A and B are shown apart, each in its own frame.
Chain A
Amino acid sequence: MKKIILLAATFGLQQAVQAQKYMTRSAQVSFFSSTAVENIEAINNEVASVFDAATGELVFIVPIKSFKFDRALMQEHFNENYLESDQFPKADFKGKIENAAAINYTKEGTTSVKAVGALTMHGVTQQVAVPGTLTVKNGNLIFKAVFKVKNKDYKIVIPSIAAKKVAEVVEVTINSPLAPLKK
């Protein structure tokens, strides 16, 4: 009998640990560039993300070509001239949510968190620290964050002719609903 309980307990533990990974392939990442001349917002609904509650590790993979613009020519220029998506098809973030251990993943609510790690895009990697929130709801998680990216830091060159239309610093918004990973 003891053996059975032990067996059940260890399997139970295994289940619990597995449930601590959360994933999505349809997180939304958008960016917003605002200048006196024009505002540009592009939306990407095909971002993949995985979060490990046990370790706090957080990964985002962003396919660059999936950013949609309301003006088709902007999308072409974004891919061709700025992000050079043929050469650099993906951006990614690999890091950690610092205070992940302090969150109770069984209790509904929203916690302020800080994601720290390496953001790679356009072939350039920078260390970033991004404040955000993590919400527990119906056993799922929602990670949200808003942060600024300086084009120069990632060697994204805005030519003088477009300088009035494209901001030097763009605002990135992340909305990532994560579901528990099932085996």
Chain B
Amino acid sequence: MNIRIPKFLFLFGGLLCAFPSFAQDDLTALLGDTKEKPSNVSATFKTTRIVNGHSIEGVAKGVMDIKISHRFGRLNQGAVDLFGLDNAYIRIGADYGLTDNITIGMGRSNVDKEFDGYAKIKLLKQKDQGGTPLAISYVAAMSLKAFRTPVGESFVLADRMCYAHQLLLAKKVNTSLSVQLTPTLVHYNLVDYSSYSNNLIAMGFGARMKVSSRASINAEYYYVLNKWDNAQTPFTNNFSLGMDIETGGHVFQFMLTNTQAMTERNFIGQTTGQWGKGDIHFGFNLGRVFTIKQPKGFEGSRNSTY
């Protein structure tokens, strides 16, 4: 069998194969299958607290966040107390990233000479581009009231301790709005009256709305399902309005809230302030981050040493 194929057809055909169009779009198309993997959503909240309570945010590995917090007295104390500024509750604390997923923290408050500690563990991370739609973290916190035992009374170590367990369910809805649901269990080893439950169940609601790239408005509400019943000073739910301002390494959080406390057992279960009566406390959290351990991959880089 001898079918004659004109030579030029070979040449033409070959050249056709050999000479695809070299337009730039084709080059870009070559890279086009670099399908972007869904990546972790970052900065759902500015810092580890929404106002009083925990946010989904941890601290990065090897980073320490020193937090100085004040809650002043009630605005309705009037001018004689400089609207509460004369007496402040103070907490000094530090949060540290053990790993990118585990943050631990400690603090001490002047009221009740209370020491607190917590661990926050990331269980699920929100991803962009149609990935995981929300983030879940778990917080276990405990506190110890280290006040001197009053004469004639007895407080053994166990009596001084309280615990809190929180599941943080957070979603960054878009670049400016983030929301969080926080089912919470607070356990008190010792309560004032036998009618008080040792376990309080609460649901926290938190949100932040960015108003600029460096500032956001925050709101936080803890609804306690089985509030203690006290006719004289009724317990209330904690509601706070705050503002975060971030300036490089610092985050300033200013807030108005109806509690003066900064530990879960206190602001969730033992809030008595009523917004309607002006029992509003002005306060702030001031956070400053320090990189304690330099991450890998920057050996020989030109970054400033610290």
Residues of A near any B CB (own CB < 8 A): 2-3, 6-7, 9-11, 13-14, 16-18, 21, 23, 25, 32, 34, 38-41, 43, 48-50, 52, 54-55, 57, 59, 61, 63, 65, 68, 70-73, 76-77, 79-81, 86-87, 89, 92, 94, 159, 161-162, 165, 181
Contact = CB atoms under 8 A, between A and B. Distances in A.
Contacts, number: 122
B15 interface: yes
Nearest first, the 9 closest Cβ-Cβ pairs linking A and B are A10-B14, A72-B60, A14-B18, A38-B304, A70-B298, A81-B213, A48-B31, A55-B22, A41-B301
B297 A94 contact: no
A25 B31 CA distance: 8
Contacts of B43: 76, 79-80
Nearest to A38: B304
B11 A57 contact: no
Contact of A81 (B34, B61, B214): B214
A76 B44 CA distance: 11
B303 A13 contact: no
B79 interface: no
B24 A59 contact: yes
Contacts of B303: 39-41, 70-71
A159 B245 CA distance: 13
B24 A94 contact: yes
B60 A3 contact: no
B272 to A, nearest CB: 37
A59 B28 contact: yes
B294 interface: yes
Interface in B121-149: 128
Contact of A10 (B18, B175, B249, B298): B18
Given A3-B10, A10-B11, 15 more contacts: A3-B7, A6-B10, A10-B13, A17-B18, A41-B302, A43-B297, A43-B301, A54-B22, A57-B22, A59-B24, A71-B303, A72-B60, A73-B63, A73-B289, A181-B30
Interface of B: 5, 7, 10-11, 13-15, 17-19, 22, 24, 27-28, 30-31, 34, 36, 39, 42-43, 59-61, 63, 128, 175, 213-214, 246-249, 289, 291, 294-295, 297-298, 301-304
B15 A13 contact: yes
Q: Is the interface of B mostly helix, strand, loop or mixed?
A: loop
A71 to B, nearest CB: 5
Given A7-B10, A57-B24, A68 B297 contact: yes
Given A77-B248, A79-B42, A94-B28, A72 B11 contact: no
A52 B213 contact: no
A76 to B, nearest CB: 5
Contacts of A32: 302
Contacts of A38: 304
Contacts of B213: 80-81
Contacts of B214: 81, 159
Contacts of B61: 72
A21 B248 contact: no
Contacts of B30: 21, 23, 50, 181
A70 B301 contact: yes
A86 B14 contact: no
Nearest to A11: B14
21 contacts: A2-B7, A6-B11, A11-B14, A38-B304, A39-B304, A41-B301, A41-B303, A49-B31, A57-B27, A59-B24, A59-B27, A65-B39, A68-B295, A70-B291, A70-B294, A70-B295, A86-B175, A159-B214, A161-B247, A162-B248, A181-B30
A43 B246 CA distance: 24
Contact of B27 (A6, A50, A165): A50
A161 B248 contact: yes
Contacts of B175: 86-87
Contacts of B14: 6-7, 9-11, 13-14
A25 B34 contact: yes
